[in-house]
């Protein structure tokens, strides 16, 4: 298996897991979204750090921290990554627990388009004519859906923009995926702790106050968060940005199905037309990607032999 194929497996696994996230966060509907976010940040850091210690990577983590402190560009890139993923997490949790699951699906359908555009703008990646057509078709579908709202879909836009930015930053940050996640959450954890102390002293909280199940789900949210993020980071470093962009359609498709079938959210004819554009774009992109891969594979195994 090539490095690019491994990266694709990592990415597909991450997006598949993210697709089922609403099932998890819906178990915490009775908990304030901000408190869920704080627990998610803290426990993600705790479990990632424990895992690093278990696999005997502690010295490497310390070395990474020293290197980051010396490299200010890397330091601020990681800090920015921490901020945008925190925004993304909060918007997603809030939307799921306030009956906007389909809105999150829209956000993650917009996100790959932004990711592809970021790849062209920031990484000078080139798209084939078929891939450009796929982007245009997908954008048309999202545009139709956006107009049908009758207002700017801020939830979807913030979710899309924050994760596309995070994806681009992770592409630039050359760190081990697990240690990178530990450092990202380390940036935010002190603020999360500080705000949690403020909440405990000013208003009622849910952790250790409701029941054991609530406490367990809040704590395990750290593991649930960490696993797909590590998989995503591994994948992002091994595959092109445009491929990252379109494999992300797995997540909103699963989320959309959950929102309609399980949570009975509205899905109109206009929504169906809009999603049809997006599904067509995905099929076109996949066909183009397979064709390009076969051409490269054929050329590689039929190169002329130099007898000089």
Residue 74 lies in a domain: yes
What is the Cα Rg of the chain in Å? Answer: 21
pLDDT tens for 127-163 read 778 878 888 888 888 788 778 767 677 888 899 899 8
State how many domains the chain has.
Answer: 1
241-256 confidence digits (pLDDT tens): 667 766 777 888 899 8
pTM metric for this prediction: 0.81
Q: How many CB atoms lie within 10 A of CB 225?
A: 25
DSSP string for residues in 3-22 = HHHHHHHHHHHHHHHHHTHH
- Find the angle CA(63)-CA(172)-CA(81) to the nearest 5 degrees: 80
Torsion of CA 128, 251, 105, 289, to 10 degrees: 10
Residue span of the structural domain in which 13 resides: 3-295
Q: Is residue 218 included in any domain, yes or no? A: yes
Rounded to an integer, the average pLDDT of 85-111 is 89
- Whether 308 is covered by a domain: the verdict is no
Q: Per the domain annotation, does 137 fall within a domain?
A: yes
Chain segment 42-81, per-residue pLDDT in tens: 999 999 999 899 988 899 999 999 988 898 888 888 899 9
Q: Quick check: is 301 in a domain?
A: no
Highest mean pLDDT among 4-13, 31-40, 282-291, 296-305 belongs to 31-40
pLDDT tens figures, 183-205: 988 999 999 999 888 888 888 88
Band the pLDDT of 122: cuts 50, 70, 90.
confident
| Sign of the CA dihedral with 240 first, then 283, 99, and 263 last | negative
Q: Looking at the domain assignment, is residue 63 inside a domain?
A: yes
**C-alpha triplet 27, 190, 88: angle, nearest 5°:** 45
């Amino acid at each position: 298996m090539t490095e690019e194929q491994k990266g694709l497996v990592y990415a597909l696994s991450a997006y598949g897991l993210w697709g089922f996230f609403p099932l998890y966060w819906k178990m915490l509907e009775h908990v304030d979204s901000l408190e869920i976010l704080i627990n998610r940040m803290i426990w993600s850091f705790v479990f990632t750090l424990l895992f690093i210690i278990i696999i005997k990577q502690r010295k490497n983590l310390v070395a990474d921290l020293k290197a980051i402190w010396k490299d200010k560009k890397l330091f601020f890139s990681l800090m920015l990554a921490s901020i945008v993923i925190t925004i993304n997490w909060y918007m997603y949790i809030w939307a799921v627990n306030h009956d906007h699951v389909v809105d999150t699906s829209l956000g993650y359908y917009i996100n790959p388009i932004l990711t592809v555009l970021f790849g062209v703008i920031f990484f000078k990646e080139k798209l084939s004519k078929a891939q450009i057509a796929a982007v245009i078709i997908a954008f048309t579908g999202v545009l139709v859906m956006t107009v049908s709202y009758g207002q700017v879909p801020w939830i979807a836009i913030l979710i899309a923009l924050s994760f596309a930015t995070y994806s681009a930053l992770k592409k630039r940050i050359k760190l081990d995926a697990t240690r990178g996640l530990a450092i990202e959450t380390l940036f935010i954890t002190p603020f999360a702790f500080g705000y949690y102390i403020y909440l405990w002293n000013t208003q009622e909280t849910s952790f250790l106050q409701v029941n054991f199940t609530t406490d367990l789900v809040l704590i395990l949210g750290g593991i649930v968060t960490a696993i797909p993020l590590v998989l995503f980071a591994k994948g992002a470093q091994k595959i092109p940005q445009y491929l990252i962009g379109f494999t992300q359609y797995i997540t909103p498709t699963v989320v959309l199905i959950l929102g309609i079938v399980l949570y009975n959210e509205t899905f109109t004819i206009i929504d169906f037309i809009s999603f049809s554009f997006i599904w067509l774009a995905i099929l076109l992109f996949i066909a183009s990607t397979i064709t390009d891969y076969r051409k490269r594979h054929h050329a590689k195994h039929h190169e002329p032999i130099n007898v000089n």
